[in-house]
Structure 1
C-alpha cells in the first residue's frame, strides 16, 4: 500500500539564478508566505548550496523543508570541490535532487553517476528527489516507459524508503509553456502504477515550466509541482500555494 500523503507539495529550485544576497532576501519573503499562507500544503526549497545553512535557519522554524540541488557520489575525503551528502545533511538539507536533465544533458552525468549519487544521498539520510523525463515528444506510453526505466536505474542501489519523483519532460524545461495536461496526466497515471508497485512511499510531482494554473489542470494525477523560474517571484509561488490548497482541499483527519 502506498504511504504517500494526500497533502500537495510545492517544491522550488532556485538553480543559480540568484546571488547570495538575493537568495537570502527571497528566503525571508518565502518565510512570510509560509507563515501567512493556507495550511495543508507542504513546501520544499532547494537554494544554491552556499545558502543551505541560512535556508534551514530561516525556513526550518516555520515548517518548510530544505533540500540541495545536487550531491557528490563521493564520501567525505580527498575529493576537491565536491559536496558530500553527509555535509549537506549536516547543514540542514533533508532532500537532494538527483538526475536533473541539466546534470545529465549539459554536464554529461550518466546513469551510473546518477545511481551512485542517489545511493550516497540515502546513506546520509537524505530523501532523493529523482528527476525523470523523455527527451523528445513521444506517446504517453513511450514516455512513461522511459521514465520508469530512468527511475529504476537511478534507484537500483537504494533500499525501500521514501522518494520524491519529478516528471519533467526535457522538451518542456525552460519552454514558454508546460507540457499539455492530457499528456502529463496520462504519463503520470502510468508512472504512478509503476511507483505503487515498486516504490510505494512516494510523491509524484510535475516540473517543466510549471507555475500558477498548472496544478489545477493536473490534480489528482500529481501530488504537487517542482517549480523553477516561475516561482522565483514570491508572489507567483504564493499564488501556486493558494491554488494547491483550494484544489486539493483539506487533508483528511487521521482517526
Structure 2
C-alpha cells in the first residue's frame, strides 16, 4: 500500500522565550493576520502548527480553535508514561485530553541540558503515538562536516524512533544540525537537501505505511524554503518566527512554493 501524499508543514516553537501575556498576544495577532490570506485557497494546502510552553498550552489550544485556518497545537516535551508517580512530569494522555496534536521530542537542547538519549526519545515518541498524537522528533549531527558524516549520525537517531513508533502512524522528523541552531545563518541548501534525501531513502523510513514528513530547522526563517523544497516538506521555526508577521510570511512562502 502506498503512503498517502505528504502535505507541506510549517510551525514554530516559542521555547521559553514568551511570557503568558506575550503568548496570548502573539496568537491573537497571528489569527488576525491569517484571516486575510492573499488567496482564499492558498492556506488549505499546508499544515500549520504552534508549540507554546506547557503552562500556556491549554489556553493556547482554546485560542487556536477560533483560527480562520486550522492550526495544530503542540507541546514541547512529554513523559513516556501516561500516569504515575512522576513529580513535575507531563503526561502524554493529559496532553491528548487537552487537544494537543503534536509533541516535539529529542531537541538538541533536551539532549544536551537534560541528558536525553535516543532511547528516551523513542520511548516518548511511542507514548505520543499511543495517545493519538504525532511525534515531532528532532534529529541532527553535533558538528559541522560532510553530508555522509551527518547522515551516519542521524541514522541512529531515526532508526531508534522508527522502531518504537507503529508503522502506520504519522511521524515528523525535524532535521536540525546542532551546529546551526541559533547560528546567524542556516545550514547550506545542498547539505540540507542531501541529508534529507538520504534520511527519506532509509529502509526503515521507506517501509513505513504512515506518512513520514521531514522538516528543516536550525536558524530557519523567511526566504529559505524555496532552496530546500526538493528535499524537505517544510520548516520548523524558532526565533525568526517570534514575530507573527514573519511567521505568516514563511507560511505563505511554503504554501506557494
With 102-111 and 26-35 compared, the bigger mean Cα shift is at 26-35
Q: 1:214 deviation in Å?
A: 0.8
Q: Who is 2:180 aligned against?
A: 172
Alignment counterpart, residue 113 of structure 1, candidates 120, 129, 136: 120
CA contact (8 A) 2:81 2:91 kept: yes
Unmatched segments (≥5 aa) in structure 1? 248-255
CA distance in 2, matches of 1:242, 1:28: 18
Q: Who is 1:20 aligned against?
A: 20
Q: Who is 1:142 aligned against?
A: 149
Could you report, residue by residue, the CA deviation over 1:50-84 in whole angstroms, capped at 9, with x for unpaired residues? 11122211113431111101001122122111101
Could you report, residue by residue, the CA deviation over 1:112-155 in whole angstroms, capped at 9, with x for unpaired residues? 21111111111111110011000011211221222122011123
**CA 1:179–1:185: 2 relative to 1, 3 Å:** same
Equivalences for residues 167-206 of structure 1 within 5 A: 167-194=175-202, 196-200=205-209, 201-206=211-216
CA contact (8 A) 1:4 1:203 kept: no
CA distance in 2, matches of 1:132, 1:22: 29
Q: Calculate the aligned-residue CA RMSD, in Å.
A: 1.5
**CA 1:32–1:231: 2 relative to 1, 3 Å:** same
Tell me the number of residue pairs that the alignment of Structure 1 and Structure 2 aligns: 246
Q: Who is 1:3 aligned against?
A: 4
Q: 1:228 deviation in Å?
A: 0.5
CA distance in 1, matches of 2:125, 2:46: 26
CA distance in 2, matches of 1:57, 1:242: 24
Q: 1:196 deviation in Å?
A: 4.6
Q: Who is 2:29 aligned against?
A: 29
CA contact (8 A) 1:181 1:218 kept: yes
Unmatched segments (≥5 aa) in structure 2? none
CA distance in 1, matches of 2:23, 2:82: 28
**CA 1:202–1:139: 2 relative to 1, 3 Å:** same
Could you report, residue by residue, the CA deviation over 1:156-208 in whole angstroms, capped at 9, with x for unpaired residues? 22211110110000000010100011111111111111265133511110000
SS at match of 2:35: helix
- Compute the TM-score of the two structures, normalised by the length of structure 1: 0.92
Q: Who is 1:48 aligned against?
A: 53
CA distance in 2, matches of 1:230, 1:190: 27
Could you report, residue by residue, the CA deviation over 1:213-240 in whole angstroms, capped at 9, with x for unpaired residues? 1101101211000000110011111110
CA distance in 1, matches of 2:81, 2:163: 17
Q: Who is 1:236 aligned against?
A: 246
With 51-60 and 225-234 compared, the bigger mean Cα shift is at 51-60
